[in-house]
Amino acid sequence: MFVVNGRYLTQKATGVHRYAFEICNKLHEMGVDFHVAIPQEIHPDYKFSFKTVKCGSLKTHLWEQISLPHYLKTIGNPLLISFTGCGPLNYNNQIMTIHDVSHERYPDWFSKNYYRFYHFMMPRIGKKAHAVLTVSVFSKSEIIDTLGIEADKIHVIHSNVPFHDKPSREEILSFQPDAGAERYIIAVSSMDPRKNFIRLAKAFGNVKDKSVKLYIIGMSFKAFSTPDLEKLTGENIHLPGYIPDDQLQKMYQNALLSVYPSLYEGFGLPPLESMTYGCPAICSDIPALREVSGDAALYLDPYDVDDITAKINQLLNDDSLRKDLRLKGLEQIKKYSWDKSAAQVYELAKRYM
């Protein structure tokens, strides 16, 4: 038996939270003996059937650092797995997850308190944990370089798209937008400086086809130094904020293309989400996105506004390239599976249970 750190269930689902949630769902389907320790209140959006146990009266980091380890000690100090954040500093029998070390590479992208907390906690917990999970070979190399954690302790277990209602290959290839439908491109992510939406907005202003709209979809978080959203406004640029998965899936299906000009990633889900719904993807030419997207995306220089514009124009005007990327994307997404990732987690956990 092991316990999962359920603090992630208190927060609205983004990429790292979905990683935790989907692996827990799959572990439950596999019949694995575990439960998720949670604070008294969790976010109402989550629907699940795995077992949870409420413990402690504290919230946020205080719950994770005080209530959670106290609960674990009362039940015999079982193995703890944290799929997001860090985990408790004063608990030894644990496996932690580090999705990326962007706070170390680019501290200015984050609030000072966020940077100070993870700069202090992450290497200390990582060095004492049995193992560290991460989501890409690139992130593993970054963890070694910035945090000094031994390579043999770090295990790459991929993320995947969170959507379950996926269209078939045949449905994707035969899909036609409604006659007279809005023509738009889509960019999906949190309003985080590394997502590079200021340059994207500037580049989009120079796109030749002025009938095309740009939707930048995502939430703002206190942890990030949120970009000046006024700089993202412009003709044909829309910021709808967070939208639910079913609506997001339709947005991908009907989009001409997606663009993800991120400056730094540990994995990078949006291009894979785009491929899942047959939407040709443009993304930054950075190591993690190259690793995850392979030859199924068109790559841009995220620091060059002119190149971002050029790649958008190229894909808008090349039907055969969009078709080629759509086909390659359908092959690329086959490499990722929550079943495989959950099985890898369980095999690792059994070493320390």
User: pLDDT band for position 64 (50/70/90)?
Assistant: very high
**CA atoms within 13 A of residue 316's CA, in its CB half-sphere:** 20
pLDDT at site 228: 59
pLDDT at site 232: 63
Cα separation values, 299 from 103, 244, 304, Å: 24, 28, 12
Which domains are present in the chain? 2-160+337-349 (3.40.50.2000), 169-335 (3.40.50.2000)
39 has a pLDDT exceeding 80: yes
Parallel/antiparallel/unpaired status of strands 154-156 and 94-97: unpaired
- Give the pair of three-digit tokens for residue 264: 């730094």
191 has a pLDDT exceeding 50: yes
Give me Rg for the CA atoms of the chain. Answer: 21
What value does the mean pLDDT of the chain take? Answer: 93
User: pLDDT band for position 298 (50/70/90)?
Assistant: very high
Cα separation values, 93 from 157, 259, 324, 352, Å: 20, 41, 48, 8
Q: Are 219 and 242 contacting, i.e. CB atoms less than 8 angstroms apart?
A: yes
Q: What is the mean pLDDT of residues 297-316?
A: 98
Q: What is the mean pLDDT of residues 208-222?
A: 84
Cα separation values, 283 from 36, 259, 263, Å: 35, 6, 10
pLDDT at site 181: 82
What is the reported pTM? 0.92
pLDDT at site 241: 85
**Structure confidence by residue, pLDDT tens digits, 108-152:** 988 899 999 999 999 999 999 999 999 999 999 999 999 999 999
H or E element in which residue 110 lies: none
Instruction: Classify residue 9 by its DSSP letter.
Output: G
pLDDT at site 226: 52
- Percent of the chain at pLDDT above 90? 81
Q: Are 280 and 257 contacting, i.e. CB atoms less than 8 angstroms apart?
A: yes
Q: What is the mean pLDDT of residues 60-65?
A: 95
Beta-bridge mates of residue 186 = 215, 258
pLDDT at site 281: 98
pLDDT at site 223: 45
pLDDT at site 289: 98
343 has a pLDDT exceeding 60: yes
**CA atoms within 13 A of residue 158's CA, in its CB half-sphere:** 19
- Percent of the chain at pLDDT above 70? 96
- Which of 329, 344, 333, 330 has the alpha carbon at shortest distance from 135? 344
- Give the pair of three-digit tokens for residue 146: 């910035």
Query: From CA 159, how far away is CA 240, in angstroms rounded?
Result: 26
Residue type, position 149, single letter? I
190 has a pLDDT exceeding 90: no
**Structure confidence by residue, pLDDT tens digits, 199-212:** 999 999 999 999 99
Query: From CA 115, how far away is CA 100, in angstroms rounded?
Result: 13
Query: From CA 40, how far away is CA 146, in angstroms rounded?
Result: 35
